[in-house]
Structure 1
Amino acid sequence: MLKIQEIRELIKLIDKSSINEFKYENDGAKIVLKKNGVGESQLADVSAPAAAYQPAPAAIQPQAPVQSAPAAAPQAPAQEQPKAADENLHKIVSPMVGTFYSASAPDQPSFVKSGDKVSKDSIVCIIEAMKLFNEIESEVNGEIVEVLVENGQLVEYGQPLFLVKSE
């Protein structure tokens, strides 16, 4: 079953996307998320076998995570401002939908951080999609100016991950 943080991330991603309805079913548990209007999601249906899902209803039933999702909307324009100001910087974008990881393991240092030099084809992060870990490489030589996503964050296809000042 999904954890509450994963559900919150799903809500944020759906709010930012053009998806109007999302259904997820796993081991008898079912989640349906529907958009009511612009930038607002609602947890429409949560059902599962009683034995497998006893602790989770208390964590999911409060509508607070759903109501807080529209508050994430102001963050998107804030991220757009540095990108718009730095049009001359190269953007390393996500080639797929998945989970962003800055290191190969939780106890390992990040592949890159702001200020690090990267060369073409050096690994900058990992995107996990469907239990497959895909190493993402830099397309240019340069310096990482900004990391645009956080470790463990869900990313979409084409979403900028890093800004690189190319050499």
Structure 2
Amino acid sequence: MLKVQEIHEIIKLIDESNIDEFCYEAGGTKFSMKKNKGEVVAAQPAQVQQPAPVQQPAAPQQQAQTEGNEQAKTTTESKETSAQQGGSDYDQEITSPMVGTFYNSPSPDQDAYVKVGDQVKEDSVVCIVEAMKLFNEIEAEVSGEIVEILVKDGELVEYGQPLFRVKSK
């Protein structure tokens, strides 16, 4: 059975993560949480306030200018996304096998397990993911060079979330 302190920690972790719903069942006890999505309600009043069509001649120009800016942003964003995908020369990703907190070193006063440019083997420990006060060493499961670290130390990670990008040899 979960202790109150453990439940508080789970609530805090879920609140800080992107998880919307969480269920835990053990020993005949079931514990589940669901986030209240308040951001939808906050977004509706902004849509309700439409500018009055007082300035008819200026509105089409502003609309065309806004649409042009949005198209430019979309083009720029898609170029940046493709540059990030194509710019990083990798062919494998190391993903998180669980939900938890990512740590890049065994303790705060020690060096990181891996840095960009480091060579890893399949059994190399690359990080720790803490889940429910258990520190789980995560192995690379691939061989190659670390070309990108996608998560910051102390950040919450989801199951299957990419942590590292690796270029195989």
- TM-score of the pair, normalised by structure 2: 0.56
Larger relative CO (CA 8 A, sep 6+): 1 or 2? 2
Query: How big is the alpha-carbon RMSD for the aligned residues of Structure 1 and Structure 2?
Result: 3.3
Match of 2:17 in 1: 13
SS of 1:35's partner is coil
Q: Structure 1 or 2: larger strand share?
A: 1
Q: Runs ≥4 in structure 1, deviation > 2 angstroms?
A: 9-14, 80-88
Point out where structure 2 has 5 or more consecutive residues left out of the alignment: 24-32, 43-76
Q: Secondary structure at the match of 1:100?
A: strand
Sequence identity of aligned pairs in percent?
Answer: 51
Between the aligned partners of 1:106 and 1:88, the Cα distance in structure 2 is 29
Which residue is 2:66 aligned to? Answer: none
Match of 2:155 in 1: 153
Rg (Cα) greater in structure: 2
1:110 aligns with 2:112: yes
CA deviation profile, 1:48-71 (whole Å, cap 9, x unmatched):
xxxxxxxxxxxxxxxxxxxxxxxx
Distance 1:131 1:12 in 2: 17
Structure 1 gaps of 5+ residues are 24-30, 41-76
Q: Determine if contact 1:22/1:34 at 8 Å carries over to the other structure.
A: no
SS in 1 for 2:128: strand
- Give the alignment's TM-score, normalised by structure 1: 0.57
Partner Cα separation in structure 2 for residue 140 and residue 104 of structure 1: 21
Q: SS of the counterpart of 1:95?
A: coil
Per-residue Cα deviation, 1:141-162 (whole angstroms, up to 9, x for no partner): 1100000000011100000000
Alignment: residue pair count: 115
